[in-house]
Amino acid sequence: MRPRIVAVLNQKGGVGKTTTSANLTHALARMGKKVIVIDLDPQCHLAVALGMVDSQQAGIDQVLFGHSTLAQQLLPVRENLHLVAAGPRLQEIEQLSKGASHRGDLLRKALKANDSDQDFIFIDCPPSSGILVANALLATDELLVPMTSDFLALQGLSHLMGTLKKFETALNKKYRLQLVMSRYNPARRLSRDVLDTIKKYFPGQILATPIRETAALAECPSFGKTIFEYRSGWRSAQDFEALAADFLAGRVM
């Protein structure tokens, strides 16, 4: 069976893409799913969040340059969970000026050639709309969009929808789009108002569990731990466990 490929994407920075990528994939792995998570961001934050200290570790950069297969870059980081690091040359893909159209299709081809036995491949995207994100959009039909509950995030979302429309037209396909409310503060009126607005525009497309804003989630990347290792049993661990169950069951609000 082909793995389900999911891009975790939002061109706006700091909305929780990497936090979602690390903790949701670990939650799924803990439930027995076999998961690969690819760090497609030259900032390498995902690898750091999962405890990888070698900043020169090769990864998806070598795959995109055609020097290695995806299978050769799989790093076992937790039980059932493999990381593909970003790699020091990933930034070059974005910077090369020649062959832009060809460079957009590198990830899709690499994933198509991959026949490892996995349930999910997640892709943690950078906060941009360049060639790397184009690679993710060509490689997958399914998008998970973390979204903070503030006014500018709403504006960013409408920009993202415009970009997706263009890709859908050019590629003649329709994305399955699901939103994750991240950094949610139920005590704040703005948080609740923004969620209500998003519900109106994206009915049935928001995963049922909002991820609440907590100090623990902000702290755990600096220890290279997911929330299940840093504060197991705490409310943020419960949020991500519930989110993983929502994701598997297609449970939305």
Instruction: List residues near ligand ATP by CB under 6 A.
Output: 13-19, 41, 45, 127, 182-183, 211, 213-214, 217-218, 221
Distance CA 122, CA 136 (A): 10
Segment lying near Mg ion (by CB under 5 A), choices 38-46, 70-78, 188-196, 243-251: 38-46
- Of residues 113, 62, 69, the one with CA closest to residue 90: 62
94/105 with CB nearer Mg ion: 94
The minimum distance between CB 99 and ligand ATP, in angstroms, equals 26
Q: Counting contacts by CB under 5 A, is residue 18 touching Mg ion?
A: yes
Name the one residue in this structure whose structure tokens are 């493999």.
Answer: 82
Picked from ligand ATP, Mg ion, none, the partner binding residue 217 (CB below 5 to 8 A depending on kind) is ligand ATP
Name the one residue in this structure whose structure tokens are 């994305």.
Answer: 175
The minimum distance between CB 88 and Mg ion, in angstroms, equals 17
19/178 with CB nearer ligand ATP: 19
The footprint of Mg ion on residues 42-81 (CB under 5 A) is 45
Contact call for residues 39 and 75 (beta carbons, < 8 A): no
Query: CA dihedral in degrees (15, 21, 27, 31; nearest 10)?
Result: 140
Picked from Mg ion, ligand ATP, none, the partner binding residue 241 (CB below 5 to 8 A depending on kind) is none
Q: Counting contacts by CB under 5 A, is residue 12 touching Mg ion?
A: no
Distance CA 246, CA 241 (A): 9
Out of 17, 78, 183, 212, name the contact with Mg ion by CB under 5 A: 17
Picked from Mg ion, ligand ATP, none, the partner binding residue 51 (CB below 5 to 8 A depending on kind) is none
Q: Do strands 75-78 and 81-84 pair parallel, antiparallel, or not at all (unpaired)?
A: antiparallel
Token output for 166: 């263009």
Token output for 82: 């493999």
Give the footprint of Mg ion on this chain (CB under 5 A): 17-18, 45
